[in-house]
Structure 1
Amino acid sequence: MTTESDRYFAELTDTLRAAGVPDEQIAATVEDLRGHLAETGTGPEEEFGPAAAFAGRLGGLAPLPGEPDEQAENWTWTADFFNDRRMLAVHGEQGWEVESLDAIGRFVCRRAPGAALRWEYRREVIKGGRRTKVLGELEPEGWELCGEWLVYGYFKRPKAASAGPEGGLETLPARPRGWLFLSGRGKAALVIWGLAVVLCLAAALSGLGLPGYVIALLSLGYAIGMTYTAKLEMDKGYVYADRKAARNDESA
């Protein structure tokens, strides 16, 4: 029968193996840890903490999270709130570990050569008294708070915690060329914001007065309406195309 201790050390073993630690070293480490628990009479998670986080402190071949590494790649990027979770998943699969969020909300990342891990991320609301509750739910599962922005907290953990040996990377993809990743809605919002700035600046410089400001606001409203209408029409076109393709597949 599998005990809690067996499950803990199985997860610890998978995580260390994904980090590139040799099997002999893993076996010796697990044996030492089991002997320690036999002496103390405590459970493994009570004594060492979550297996994934504990493996990060044991993984001698991979730099520990937050520690400097002269050979590590460093990269900073950002995305809007409609796109951040998707891009975190994409870049986490490529071995990028978020170390922090800087003062303007950019993700400051690092990737260690040779022993990089895949990372998984999640975003949670932690303001308004939710911090303690969210941390209490996620930390036992190996999630670590890696940055905060506005009301959100961003959490990371090595993918080996859920995927086992598949959480490691044998080869590293090239670093992405860009640093700004906007969704369709984010791009539309940026265009609207730019129009608003231009219209307000034009109104201020030309001294339009009240009628001019009314016209400027109406023009802005028209621009917003046209942008939103264009998006709806585009979405409708996608739905129509998908339905047409589905009907063609059924008839074939």
Structure 2
Amino acid sequence: MHVITRSCVLFFWMHTLTFVKSQEPLPDCTLQDFLNGPLFDSNFDTTGLEASYVAGRQIRVSCSTGYSGFFLLFCIEGKWQSRGTKCKPQQCPVIHVSNNVQVIGDPEEANVGNVVRFSCKSNSEILSGSQEIYCNENGEWSGEAPTCNAPLDCEQPPPLANGDTKNSMKFSYRHNERVEYICQNYYTMQGGPFKTCNNGEWTGEIICLRPCTVDEEAMRGRNIRFRYGRKDKLYSTHGDVIEFSCTRGRPVGSLGMRPMCVDGVVHLPSCQ
């Protein structure tokens, strides 16, 4: 505590400030008093704060995720005094886009969690970049603003293993043009049958799955034969089931007598 004394010196009053050690300790400041007091903001993050603080203690209270601002709290004679600002929603910076980009949402006042979507104003242009971005908890956009440009042409389409294009190829293709593929005999197409020119790149997954071949020599060593027919060799497409029977003995193992052709591989059974 302190004491102020007054004395007259040469016709003037003089003030003297004297600090006197208090006989009683100054009261603490409690966290509960702060939570119930006028300084508290519901958007403060009070995680890790202690239950009470001694006189003269200073603490910093930050705002919760998604909000900006903080408070410096001072414990003075059992009461909290503060310096700082109230918590405000965290905002992302203004997004700047070119005139040919359509913006859906508010790119100037975006709080955490707000989403902004983009499209091209002209149907003859395509969007390069993300169709939507959002304001994250750090006050940053999840991506860059996209641009709108005229689509690029494609060069000749890529070759297909064990397949080919159905029609003759051109030197270049416009955006959204398609090319049809076919697989060789006995090969099975997965995906397709088209690849599409998409802004300078060919899109579309196509695979020609291989057939399986079973001949007499492979069957003889396993004491098996085709269950139906007397063929010496068989071509079977992907996904087909081939049925066998024993020439002598009984089937062994757990494969069974009806294996399936899977992309050129068939696990033949055996008999003993």
* Higher CA-based Rg: 2
Structure having the higher strand fraction is 2
With normalisation by structure 2, the TM-score equals 0.19
Greater RCO between the two (CA within 8 Å, min separation 6)?
1
Q: 1 or 2, which has the higher helix percentage?
A: 1
